[in-house]
Amino acid sequence: MEPSLPALPPVDEHHVDRRRYPDGVAFMDGQYLPMSQAKISVLDWGFLHSDATYDTVHVWNGRFFRLDLHLDRFLGGVERLRMKLPYDRKKIESILTVCVALSGHKSAYVEMICTRGSSPTFSRDPRQAENRFIAFAVPFGSVANKAQLERGLHVAISETVRIPPKSVDPAIKNYHWLDLVKGLFDAYDMGAETALVLDTNGHIAEGPGFNVFFVKDGCLTTPAFGMLPGITRRTVFDLCAEIGLSATAADVSRAGIKGADEVFITSTAGGIMPVTRIDDAAIANGQVGPVTRRLMDLYWQKHDDLSWSTAVEYP
């Protein structure tokens, strides 16, 4: 006889025993669950074929940062992958908010996912799959730890080429990470802490979970091709426009980035994070530069700005 699993009752959004949700809260198949119970079938194409799209937004001091931009990117990806969500934008926003509120986390990493799901008849036709929406809120995490944020990261440029945009459109945020993980192992082998990988033309593309910028003579440059158009990258452009700094998307060569005055990476997981060493050489004098510091400060200040952030109402 098959062991029967206890069915979890649907959770009323307003009457929840928060002690059941110590580390984080997920939403899937119509229920809010403790993180440890959020599991998908191994038959889900999201798992079997990486056939999924997702987005990650963060909450800082109890406020979502630029949630609208993350929802735009997520919903755009879902549409372009020809998936269908069982909920509209407003409901998704409410689910994300409830996940954060139930988790109690004032600083959270919040993910929304749509997987292809699977077909009830095990059909190989993706049109017959029942797409699945999942969301969760866990404690905020960063690409760079405290020490790395203070002294700057050591990054290595891997020879690995990021999957071409003609194969997988990087604007559809995805879990195709075999190239990025290979890049990370290359970086560890070179004694570095994280990696940059290349685009199909041999220029710098991005890293595992982040975009990259360099500063030369007061002007900022970031790769234009082969990378995810990150929301933090976009935020850097917005901040630069506000304070009158020039920021351009263009091809970035190895020599260009290594000869920069300053380098930093950007991600929802950590914001703007300095890089002070690439491969075996320091960037300029090896210290975190003034443009990077100024943008880091401004970036975190914007988290209290009502036009850039949305409050979470905690129970």
Where does this chain bind ligand PLP (CB under 6 A)?
56, 206, 209-211, 227-228, 230-233, 266-268
Minimal distance, residue 119 CB to ligand PLP, in Å: 28
Give min distance, CB of 227 to ligand PLP, in A: 6
User: Measured from the CB of residue 279, what is the shortest distance to ligand PLP in angstroms?
Assistant: 20
CB 142 within 8 A of CB 112: no
Please tell me whether residue 269 adopts helix, strand or coil conformation. coil
Measured from the CB atom, is 24 or 230 closer to ligand PLP?
A: 230
Minimum CB separation from ligand PLP for residue 146, in Å?
A: 20
Nearer to ligand PLP, 60 or 314 (CB): 60
- Rounded to a whole number of angstroms, the minimum distance from the CB of residue 241 to ligand PLP is 17
Decide if 96 contacts 55 (C-beta within 8 A). no
Please compute, for residue 111, the number of CA atoms within 13 A of its CA located in the half-sphere on the CB side: 22
The residue whose Cβ lies closest to ligand PLP is 230
CA distances 80 to 170, 172, 194, Å, are 12, 8, 31
Q: Which is nearer to ligand PLP, 56 or 221 (CB)?
A: 56
The backbone torsions φ and ψ at residue 27, rounded to the nearest 5 degrees and listed phi first, read -130, 125
Rounded distance between C-alpha atoms, residue 241 and residue 9, angstroms: 50
Q: Which is nearer to ligand PLP, 194 or 211 (CB)?
A: 211
- The alpha-helical segments, DSSP class H, found in 165-284 are 178-189, 231-243, 254-258
Q: Using CA atoms, how far apart are residues 9 and 215, in angstroms rounded to an integer?
A: 53
- Alpha-carbon distances, residue 236 vs 141, 261, 290 (angstroms): 20, 17, 15
- For residues 11 and 252, which CB has a smaller minimum distance to ligand PLP in the complex? 252
Q: Cβ of residue 142: shortest distance to ligand PLP, in angstroms?
A: 11
Q: Measured from the CB atom, is 101 or 172 closer to ligand PLP?
A: 172
Distance CA 268, CA 133 (A): 21
Which among 254, 270, 274, 250 has a CA at the least distance from the CA of 262? 274
Positive or negative, the Cα torsion across 247, 249, 253, 258?
positive
Instruction: Report helix, strand or coil for 140.
Output: coil
Instruction: Select 43 or 250, whichever has its Cβ closest to ligand PLP.
Output: 250
Residue closer to ligand PLP by CB (options 118, 267) is 267
Q: How far is the CB of 58 from ligand PLP (least distance, A)?
A: 8
Q: How far is the CB of 172 from ligand PLP (least distance, A)?
A: 11
Written as six digits, the tokens of 149 are 């944020």
Closest separation in Å from C-beta 219 to ligand PLP: 21
Q: Tell whether the torsion through CA atoms of 12, 17, 18 and 23 is positive or negative.
A: negative
Q: Indicate the residue among 114 and 129 with the shorter CB distance to ligand PLP.
A: 114
The Cα–Cα gap between 1 and 4 comes to 9
